[in-house]
Structures are given as structure tokens and as C-alpha cells.
Structure 1
Amino acid sequence: MTMKQVDPGVEMAPAPVLEAVGLPNDLTAAVKFTLPTDEDMTAVAALRAGSEPWKSRGETQEDSLKALSQLKPNVHVAKLQNQIVGYVTVERDGPVPGAAYLRNIVVKQELRKKGLGMVVLEQALRAARDMYRKTIALRVDPSNAPAVSFYRKAGFTTVATVVSKKSGKLRLLMSREL
């Protein structure tokens, strides 16, 4: 048996932490969106597992990866300076007939309230338009006041209050025209 010597490889240094102070003035131009690679999916799963409501539900990174893998064609990864800073999932069909469905939107905790969420939401709206939808809908926990306020500022209105099949809790069904 012949054995081939394999280079031990080069260790990658962790990506530098993005400082909120050093963010570009024009996030719209600076943030790039891609469909996720397998490597991206691991980072996106970590981002999801560390964010609410998944964190308080005890969802592990593996659980998040499994859930996101089923949504992979609908995931849009936000990168700033080649680092993943958020993601959004947009499906062609959801709870409102004829409307695209915004399933998740997540932005890194340390970059929230800096305008990045709106940039990610704009990508969701573009994706919905690319699906030839005229409306986009989402569900949100009514007790998540920051999220409800964010969506209202972005032009969403509450169209119904529904009960989540998964948790049994009330959710606001919100939508807006594209």
C-alpha cells in the first residue's frame, strides 16, 4: 500500500469582527447578497440559533441547519466586507394566497439599529418581485415590539391575528404591497 503525504493545510484566521462604528455610510451599496454555499449555511445556522425566537426555544445550531437546509433555495445571505451579517428567507407562497412569504429575517445582534435590517428587508422585497408577486406577507409575535415597529415603519399593516400551528401562540399576520 502506498501512502500519499498530505499537507496539513493552512489554518484560517477568524474573520475580523465588524465594528458598528466602522460601518460604511451607504450600506445599500456595501452589502452584497448571495445564495448560500454549504459553508455559508453553517454560519447562517449559527446566526439563527443565537437569535430570538430560536435561542429562547433552545434550538441548537444543528436544528437551525436542518431547518434552513430545507429552505436553502429561498435563503438570501447578506455579506458585508465578505462577512455574513444577516439573511432573509423569502418563499413564493405562504399563508396569504398570491403573496410571497417572508419567513425569517435575521441581522447580527451587534449590527442592529444601524439600517442593516432595512437593507436586508429590501432584498426580500426584490426577491418577492422577482417571483412576480405583488404582495409580501409575514407572521410576527405581537409581543416582539421592536420587530412589529420595524415592519410597520417599512409599510406593513396587520391583516389578521392567527394562532401558530407550531407553538399555539398568537401571531400577527402582516403584509404590504410591493
Structure 2
Amino acid sequence: MTMKQVDAGVEVAPAPILDVAGLPNDLMAAVKFGLPTDEDMTAVADLRAGSEPWKSRGETQEDSLKALTQLKPFIHVAKLQSQLVGYVTVERDGPVPGAAYLRNIVVKPELRRKGLGNILLEQALKAARDMYRKTIALRVDPSNSPAVSFYRKEGFTTVATVVSKKSGKLRLLMSREL
């Protein structure tokens, strides 16, 4: 039996702070997408736990990591200047038969309202098309007016009002053709 020597763990320096003021003019070309690495999953969980609705529910980073681990095959992480800036989760099947399901779009708070949500949505639409879907659906809290407005502006229409199994609250079921 041959033994391979393994180097001791190497300490990794923290990622540099993202220069929000110096964002490139063409974010679409600058943002890179990929499947999350194990290291990315911690950052994705931190981002989720610090965002609504999970933050107001008191979801911890550990809770987020557990939930996201089950969704890992469907997560597309967005990186800018090698730093995670958001993610989108798209599943092949969801509440609308035959439609892909857009579970989440989450953007780093300091990058909101800069076009990154649109870029993440474009990635979700591409992922849904790659799944050979012709429609994509999502659920959104009707009191989250910025999200509802965003989705309507992007061509989504409300197809039903449903009750969330987790929270018992009303959600708008929205969809759009691809």
C-alpha cells in the first residue's frame, strides 16, 4: 500500500471587500455563474439567513445551510470579482405542472437595485430552458411589493393565490412563458 503525504491545512485569507462604487458598467458580462462549491455554500447560507423572509423568521446560518444543502443541485451562484454576490435556485418541477420552479433569487444587500436581480433572473430563465421547460413559476409574498413589482415588470402574471405550507400565509403564484 502506498501512502500519500498530505499537506497541513492552509489558512485562507478572507476575500477582499467588493468595490461597490467601482462596479463594471456591463454587469451582465462581469457576473460569472456556476454551481456552488462546498466553500460557496457557507456564503450562500449567510446570504440567505441575512435576507428576507428568512431573517424575520429567525432562521440561523445553520438552518439555512441545512435547507440549502438539499437544494444544492439547483443553486446557481453569481460571482463578481471572484466574490459571491447572489444566487438563484431553479428546480425542474414545482407547483405548476410542467413548469420550472424559481424558488429563490437572493442578492447581496449592498448590490440591490443595481441590475443584479435581472441578471439572476436571466440565469433562471436560461436554466429553465435548459430543462426543456416552456414556463417558469414562482411564489411570492404579496406584501413584498418590490418583488411583486419586479416580477410583473419581467412578464410574470399572477395565476393563483395559495397558502404557504410552512408559514400558513398567502402567496401569489406567478408564472411566465419562456
Query: Segments of 4+ in structure 1 off by > 6 A?
Result: none
Q: Which amino acid aligns with 1:96?
A: V
Deviation of residue 12 (structure 1)? 2.9
Give the alignment of 1:110-129 within 5 angstroms.
110-129=110-129
Partner of 1:167: 167
- Segments of 5+ residues of structure 2 without an aligned counterpart are 1-5
2:61 is equivalent to residue 56 of structure 1: no
Q: Provide the rounded CA distance (Å) in 2 between the counterparts of 1:137 and 1:11.
A: 42
- Segments of 5+ residues of structure 1 without an aligned counterpart are 1-5
Q: Provide the rounded CA distance (Å) in 1 between the counterparts of 2:147 and 2:110.
A: 16
Instruction: Indicate if the aligned counterparts of 1:20 and 1:114 stay in contact, CA closer than 8 A.
Output: no
Deviation of residue 16 (structure 1)? 1.9
Q: Provide the rounded CA distance (Å) in 2 between the counterparts of 1:7 and 1:177.
A: 51
Deviation of residue 7 (structure 1)? 7.2
SS at match of 1:18: coil
Partner of 1:102: 102
Q: Identity of aligned pairs, percent?
A: 87
2:37 is equivalent to residue 37 of structure 1: yes
Partner of 1:17: 17
The CA RMSD over aligned residues, in Å, is 1.5
SS at match of 1:51: coil
Per-residue CA shift, 1:70-91, capped at 9, x if unaligned?
Answer: 0110000000010000000000
Per-residue CA shift, 1:96-116, capped at 9, x if unaligned?
Answer: 000000001100000000001
Partner of 2:3: none
SS at match of 2:158: strand
Q: Aligned pair count?
A: 174
Q: Which amino acid aligns with 1:173?
A: L
Give the alignment of 1:66-105 within 5 angstroms.
66-105=66-105
Q: TM-score, normalised by structure 2?
A: 0.94
Q: Which amino acid aligns with 2:70?
A: Q
Q: Provide the rounded CA distance (Å) in 1 between the counterparts of 2:161 and 2:81.
A: 39
Deviation of residue 15 (structure 1)? 1.5
Q: Provide the rounded CA distance (Å) in 1 between the counterparts of 2:10 and 2:93.
A: 44
Deviation of residue 19 (structure 1)? 3.0
SS at match of 1:89: strand
Partner of 1:3: none
Instruction: Indicate if the aligned counterparts of 1:45 and 1:65 stay in contact, CA closer than 8 A.
Output: yes
Deviation of residue 11 (structure 1)? 3.6
Q: Which amino acid aligns with 2:81?
A: Q
Per-residue CA shift, 1:127-174, capped at 9, x if unaligned?
Answer: 000000000000000000111111111111111111101110000000
SS at match of 1:56: helix
